[in-house]
Structure 1
C-alpha cells in the first residue's frame, strides 16, 4: 500500500477507537481489539496470520506490564488497608499545621499515589480530606483541600511507574522503565509543586462548600475514626515504616538503572543491582516487605494476607487487559507499516518530537477521557519516530514521560476521575470544570515545558 493509504488507515483506526469508546460505549479492551483485527484485515494481513499477530502483540506487552501492574496494586492495597494513607496524611498535617493543610494533603497524596491507582487513592483519601476541612472554622472552601489532593494523585498516575499507562507506554516505546521512573521524577515533583500553587489560586476564585456532616458519599467510611488495620484493630503503622515500604521499591529500581549507566559490564555489583532493581523484582521485594512489616508483624494472619492480596486483583484485571489490547494495536500498526507511515508524516511536519507526543496524547485524552488509553494509543504512533531519529535510551524514556504528561491535559466530563472526585466532594459540575479541568490542563502544559528543558540534559546521559 502507498504511504498515503497507510496514513489514512492509521487516522481511521484512531478515529474508530474513539467512536467505539465514546459513542458506542464499548469497553476500551473490546474497542482496541476490534480495531486491531479490522486494521490487520484491511491492510492485507493473511487470514491465517491475524490471530497469531494479535497474540504476539498481547504477549509482548503483558510479559512485563502484568507483573508490574499486579505487584504495584498488591503493594498499594496493603498500604491502604493497613491505614498507611491516613498515617501519612495525619503526620504531615501535624508537621505542616492546619494553615498549611493543603500542602500536607498534597504531599501525602503524592507519596500515597505512587503505588495506588488514582481512582482508588482518591476514594481512600476522601474521609481524611473531609475531616480536615470540617475541623477548620469559618466558611471553608472544599476546593482548597480537595483540588491539591487529586492533582497530586493524578500527576503521579500519569508520569511514574508502576501505574499502567506509563508502564505500558514505556513498553510500547521500547523505553527502560527504570529510566522512565528516574527521569520522570523531575517533572512529577515540579508539576506537583505548580499544581499546589495553582490549586490555591483557583480556590481563591471558585467556591464549593464543604459537605455537611452526615452527607459523606457511600463507601467512604468514617472520616473521624483512627486508622485501623485490616482486621479492625486500632493502631496504625508508623509513618517512617509506611514511607519505607513505599520508597524501597522505587530506590531499588533507580539503583538498578543508575548502576547500568555508571558501572562496567560484568561487574558483580551491577548484576546484583540489575536483578533487584528490575521493576518486577523491586516491586516483589516491596510487596514481601509490606506483607511482613505492615501485615504479619502487626497481627495479620496468613488468611488475612491472602485476602488483602486477592482484593488487589480485581482492580488490575481491566487495566492489564486494556494495556495488552493497546500492545496488540501497536503491534498491528507496526506490522502493517501504518506506524512507520504515520511517523514519516509527523516527522514531515517539522514539529519537535516532544511537542508531537504531547499534542497527540492530549487530543486523545480530551476525546475519550482515559489517561491510560491515551498513552497506550499515542505510544505506538510516536515509537517509530524515536527509531528514525536515532534517539538513545534516556531520550526515548523522556518521550515516554512526555506522552504521560500529555495524557493529563483536557480532562473533563468523559473522565471517570472527574466524576469520582467531584461527586465524593460534592463539587458542582460547573465549578469542577473551572477548577479540575483548568488545573489538569495548565499542569500538563507546564509539564511539557519541563520536559522540553530536560531534553538537552538527557541527551548528555
Structure 2
C-alpha cells in the first residue's frame, strides 16, 4: 500500500473517531475501537492482524500502567475521605498568605493532589477556593478559579500520578521516574507563569463581576472575609447545574486537625497530622524519582531498585495510606473509599486500554516509517505537530485524556526512528490536549457552577486560562528537548 494511502486512512480513522464521539455521541471507548478497526483493515493488516493489534495494544498498555492507575486512584480516594484536601488548603493559606494562594493552589493541585480522581478533587476543592476568593484581594474569584483550572488540567496529563500522564507514559514506553521528573520540571513553571499571566490580564480590566459572576454573588459586592453570599444559580449552569452548591461554612471548619474535624465521610475518629496523611504518597513519589536518578547515574543498588519500581513504590504508598487512614477514619470508611476508588478507576482503565489499541494499530500500519522520512530529532516539527494534533482533537472531542492519548499514538512510532525522546512526545501531547477546554468538558461546567461564574466567566478563567498554560507548556518543552 502506498504511503499516501496509509496517511489518508490514518487521518480518516482519527476524524471518524471524533465524528462518532461528537456528532453521534457514541461512547469514546467504542469509537476508538471502531477507528482502530477501520485503520487496520484499510491498511492491509487483515482481519486477524487488525484484531491482534487492537487486543494486543489494549493488553500491553494496561500491563504497563493498569496497576499504577488503580493504586493511584485508591490512594487518592482514601485521602479524600480523610479530609486531607480541606486541611491542606487551610495549611497553604497559613503558610503562603492570601495573596499567594492562587499560585500555591495551582502548584499543589497540579502536583501533590493528582492521585485524587479529578471530579472528586474538583468538587471538594472548588468550594474551598470560592470561600478563599474574597480574602485574596482584587479579582479573587477569577484568580482562584483560573489557578484551580490550570492546576487540575495540567496535572492530569503532565504529572505522575495523574491518570493521563500514566497513560501517556505507558503508551510511549517512558519510564515512570523519567515522566515524574520531567513532568515536575514542566508543570511547576507552567502553572506559575500561566497563573501570573492571567492575574495580569484580570487586573487590566478583563473581568466584569456583573457579567462574569452569577447574579447573587456579584450583587453581594466585594467582601473582606467569610463566604460568598449565596450559591451558584442554575440559570446559566449548563450540564452541571445539578452539581452540589458550595457549602457555606467558614474555612476554619476545615482547617485545624482534630478528632472532631468533619469530612464528607463523617467525623474523623483520631487526630492525625496532615504530614502523616500525605507521607506514604510522598514517599512513593520520592522512591520513583530516586529510581530515575539512579538509572541516569548508572548506579545499581538492588534493594532500592526494587522499591523504586513504580508498581512497588505506589503499592508501598497505598499500603501506608491504608494504615494511616484506617487509624484516622476507621476501617469502614477505608473500605468504602476503596470500593468507590475501584468504580472510578474502571472507566479510566478501559479508556486507557483502547487508546493503546488505536496507537498500536497506527504503528503496525507503518505510519512511523513514513513520517520518519520527513522529520528529524534536531527539529521542533515533531513536537509542534503532536501539540497541534492534540489541540485540534481536544477542541473537537472535549476530553483531555482522549486527545492526548490519540495524538501521542499518532507520533509514537516516529520517536524511536528519528531518535526523539518519547518523554518529549508525551509532554507535547499532554500540553496540546490542554488547549481550549470548553463547553464539551465536564470540568468546565463543574468549575462554572461550583465557583459561581457565568458561562462567560468560565470561558475566561477555564478556557482561556488553561489555553494559556497549554501554550506556555509547549514553549518550555521545546528548550527541554535539548536536555532530554
**TM-score, with normalisation over the residues of structure 2?**
0.86
Query: Which segment drifts farther, 239-248 or 352-361?
Result: 239-248
- SS of 1:79 mapped into structure 2: helix
In 2, Cα distance between equivalents of 1:189 and 1:409: 18
Could you say which residue in structure 2 is the equivalent of 1:283?
Answer: 314
Could you say which residue in structure 1 is the equivalent of 2:381?
Answer: 352
Query: Which segment drifts farther, 322-331 or 434-443?
Result: 434-443
Kindly tell me: are residues 107 and 167 of structure 1, through their superposed partners in 2, closer, same or farther at Cα, counting changes over 3 Å? closer
Write the mapping of 1:255-270 to structure 2, written as runs, cut at 5 A: 255-264=290-299, 267=300, 269=301
Kindly tell me: are residues 155 and 50 of structure 1, through their superposed partners in 2, closer, same or farther at Cα, counting changes over 3 Å? closer
The CA deviation at 1:166 is 2.1
Could you say which residue in structure 2 is the equivalent of 1:333?
Answer: 362
The CA deviation at 1:141 is 4.5
- Kept in 2: contact 1:130–1:223 (CA 8 A): no
The CA deviation at 1:289 is 1.0
- Asked if 1:58 corresponds to 2:49, the answer is no
**TM-score, with normalisation over the residues of structure 1?**
0.90
- Asked if 1:219 corresponds to 2:215, the answer is no
The CA deviation at 1:17 is 0.9
- Asked if 1:114 corresponds to 2:135, the answer is no
In 2, Cα distance between equivalents of 1:108 and 1:199: 18
Query: Which segment drifts farther, 12-21 or 208-217?
Result: 208-217
1:254 is matched with which residue: 270, 275, 289?
A: 289
- Kept in 2: contact 1:110–1:153 (CA 8 A): yes
Could you say which residue in structure 2 is the equivalent of 1:424?
Answer: 450
The CA deviation at 1:435 is 3.0
- SS of 1:457 mapped into structure 2: coil
In 2, Cα distance between equivalents of 1:220 and 1:111: 26
Could you say which residue in structure 2 is the equivalent of 1:26?
Answer: 26
In 1, Cα distance between equivalents of 2:74 and 2:245: 20
- Kept in 2: contact 1:343–1:381 (CA 8 A): no
- Kept in 1: contact 2:288–2:309 (CA 8 A): yes
In 2, Cα distance between equivalents of 1:384 and 1:218: 42
- Kept in 2: contact 1:142–1:425 (CA 8 A): yes
Could you say which residue in structure 1 is the equivalent of 2:426?
Answer: 400
Could you say which residue in structure 2 is the equivalent of 1:75?
Answer: 75
- SS of 2:440 mapped into structure 1: coil
Kindly tell me: are residues 344 and 13 of structure 1, through their superposed partners in 2, closer, same or farther at Cα, counting changes over 3 Å? farther
Kindly tell me: are residues 412 and 364 of structure 1, through their superposed partners in 2, closer, same or farther at Cα, counting changes over 3 Å? same
Could you say which residue in structure 1 is the equivalent of 2:440?
Answer: 414
Deviations 1:346-376 (A, max 9, x none): 6699752222221221121122111111111
RMSD between aligned residues: 2.5
Could you say which residue in structure 1 is the equivalent of 2:258?
Answer: none
Could you say which residue in structure 2 is the equivalent of 1:455?
Answer: 481
- SS of 1:88 mapped into structure 2: helix
In 2, Cα distance between equivalents of 1:219 and 1:246: 29
- SS of 2:266 mapped into structure 1: coil
- Kept in 2: contact 1:124–1:220 (CA 8 A): no
Q: Which runs of 5+ in 1 are unaligned?
A: none
Kindly tell me: are residues 101 and 57 of structure 1, through their superposed partners in 2, closer, same or farther at Cα, counting changes over 3 Å? closer
- Asked if 1:274 corresponds to 2:305, the answer is yes
In 2, Cα distance between equivalents of 1:401 and 1:236: 40
In 2, Cα distance between equivalents of 1:242 and 1:421: 27
In 2, Cα distance between equivalents of 1:218 and 1:118: 15
In 2, Cα distance between equivalents of 1:122 and 1:63: 29
- Asked if 1:193 corresponds to 2:192, the answer is yes
Could you say which residue in structure 1 is the equivalent of 2:394?
Answer: 365
Kindly tell me: are residues 342 and 125 of structure 1, through their superposed partners in 2, closer, same or farther at Cα, counting changes over 3 Å? same
Could you say which residue in structure 2 is the equivalent of 1:206?
Answer: 207
Kindly tell me: are residues 230 and 443 of structure 1, through their superposed partners in 2, closer, same or farther at Cα, counting changes over 3 Å? closer
The CA deviation at 1:179 is 0.6
- SS of 2:114 mapped into structure 1: coil
Kindly tell me: are residues 17 and 83 of structure 1, through their superposed partners in 2, closer, same or farther at Cα, counting changes over 3 Å? same
Q: Which runs of 5+ in 2 are unaligned?
A: 218-227, 233-241, 255-260
1:379 is matched with which residue: 380, 399, 408?
A: 408
- Kept in 1: contact 2:231–2:245 (CA 8 A): no
Query: Which segment drifts farther, 320-329 or 110-119?
Result: 110-119
Could you say which residue in structure 2 is the equivalent of 1:97?
Answer: 97
